[in-house]
């Protein structure tokens, strides 16, 4: 409340009060005067303003105070850059890439067939079940090495 009242009275209030941080902060006599003004019911912001403005070191402290105020101001955003118009060739390639991505996604949702067994599993035979063997075509079964085929037949008692 005190700051608002003083800021309304003096145009340069923010600069002077910023400078007062250095001037009043280092001077116990000024600090006592501000506390006394507060006890009397006077506005301490106005007292600090007058003490700072009347101090011999005020002119030295003012440029630093202005620099601090500038540093604290919010930075303005850069105006948005104009979007470059897309190259028709680039747009076509992008559309093709999106279409290919869509097809890949659709294919990944399709049901798997018996042709999807990897060669490594067939050779090892470790993960093959009776159902896998029963659903396998004769051609797929023939692709399994003879020793593995015989081991699977013996394992499942066929």
Q: What is the dihedral sign for C-alpha 123, 126, 130, 135?
A: negative
The tens digit of pLDDT for each residue in 16-31 reads: 888 888 878 778 888 8
> What are the structure tokens assigned to 25, written together?
């902060």
Return the pLDDT at 155: 82
Tracing tokens 């993960």 back to the chain, one arrives at: 127
User: 6 phi and psi, to 5 degrees?
Assistant: -70, -40
Asked if the model's pLDDT at residue 124 lies above 70, the reply is no
Evaluate whether 68 touches 19 at the Cβ level (below 8 Å): no
Is 34 buried (19+), middle (13-18) or exposed (0-12) by CB count in 10 A?
middle
pTM reported for the whole predicted model? 0.45
In the prediction, which pLDDT does 121 show?
A: 46
Pairwise CA distance, residues 45 & 6, whole Å: 6
**pLDDT tens digits, residue range 125-155?**
556 777 887 888 888 888 888 888 888 888 8
Structural tokens at position 122 = 């067939």
DSSP state, residue 156:
T
């Amino acid at each position: 409340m005190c700051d608002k009242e003083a800021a309304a009275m003096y145009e340069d209030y923010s600069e002077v009060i910023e400078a007062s941080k250095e001037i009043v902060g280092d001077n116990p006599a000024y600090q006592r005067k501000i506390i006394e003004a507060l006890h009397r019911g006077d506005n301490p912001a106005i007292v600090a303003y007058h003490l700072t403005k009347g101090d011999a070191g005020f002119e030295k402290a003012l440029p630093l105070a202005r620099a601090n105020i500038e540093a604290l101001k919010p930075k303005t955003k850069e105006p948005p850059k104009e979007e470059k118009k897309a190259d028709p060739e680039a747009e076509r390639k992008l559309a093709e890439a999106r279409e290919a991505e869509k097809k890949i996604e659709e294919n990944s949702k399709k049901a798997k067939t018996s042709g999807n067994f990897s060669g490594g599993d067939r050779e090892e035979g470790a993960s093959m079940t009776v159902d896998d063997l029963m659903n396998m075509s004769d051609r797929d079964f023939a692709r399994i090495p003879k020793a593995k085929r015989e081991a699977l037949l013996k394992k499942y008692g066929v």
